[in-house]
Amino acid sequence: MAFVLVPFAVESVWVFWPALQGFWFSLTRWDGMSPTTFVGVDNYVEMAGDATFRGALLNTVIWLVLFGGLSVLGGFGMALVLQKERRGVGFYRAALFTPVVFSLVVTALVWRVFYQPDGIADTLLRAVGLEQLIRPWLADPQTALYAVILPALWRQIGYVMVLFLAGLKAIDPALHEAARMDGANSWQRLRHVTIPQLKGVNAVVLSVIVIDSLRSFDIVWSLTKGGPYHSSELLSTYMYSTAFQSLRLGYASAIAVVIFVLALAVILGYLVRAFREEA
The contact set with other proteins (CB under 8 A) reads 14-15, 18-19, 21-23, 25, 29-34, 46, 51, 103-105, 108, 115-118, 136-141, 214-215, 217-218, 221-222, 225, 227-230, 236, 239-241, 243-249, 251-253, 256-257, 259-260, 263
The nearest distance, CB 266 to other proteins, in angstroms, is: 13
Q: For residues 59 and 194, which CB has a smaller minimum distance to other proteins in the complex?
A: 59
Q: How far apart are CA 234 and CA 39, in angstroms?
A: 25
- To other proteins, the closest distance from the beta carbon of 185 in angstroms equals 44
Q: Residue 210 in contact with residue 65, Cβ under 8 Å?
A: no
Question: 29 in helix, strand or coil?
Answer: strand
Closer residue to other proteins in complex, CB, 21/185: 21
- Please state the separation of Cα 55 from the chain's center in Å: 18
Q: Please, what is the end-to-end C-alpha distance for the chain in angstroms?
A: 29
**The 3-state secondary structure of 72-121, one letter per residue:** HHHHHHHHHHHCCCCCCHHHHHHHHHHHHHCCHHHHHHHHHHHHCCCCHH
Based on CB atoms, which residue is closest to other proteins, 119 or 197? 119
Q: Shortest distance, CB of residue 208 to other proteins, whole angstroms? A: 14
| Minimum distance of other proteins from residue 254's CB (angstroms) | 10
One-character DSSP codes across 59-76: HHHHHIIIIIHHHHHHHH
Nearer residue to other proteins within complex by CB, 24 or 92? 24
Question: Which is nearer to other proteins, 97 or 217 (by Cβ)?
Answer: 217
**Of 7 and 90, which CB lies nearer to other proteins in the complex structure?**
7
C-alpha triplet 249, 44, 217: angle, nearest 5°: 55
In whole angstroms, what is the distance from residue 231 CA to residue 149 CA? 13
CB of 187 to other proteins, least distance (A): 40
What residue type is assigned to position 166 of the chain? A
- In degrees, to the nearest 5, what angle opens at C-alpha 173 toward C-alphas 185 and 69? 65
Query: Please, what is the minimum distance in Å from the beta carbon of residue 279 to other proteins?
Result: 30
**C-alpha–C-alpha distance, residues 224 and 204, integer Å:** 30
Residue whose CB is less far from other proteins, 32 or 69: 32
| Pair 206, 94: CB distance under 8 Å | no
Q: How many C-beta atoms surround the C-beta of residue 152 within 10 A?
A: 25
3-state SS class at 170 = coil
CB of 203 to other proteins, least distance (A): 20
Q: Which is nearer to other proteins, 150 or 214 (CB)?
A: 214
To other proteins, the closest distance from the beta carbon of 99 in angstroms equals 15
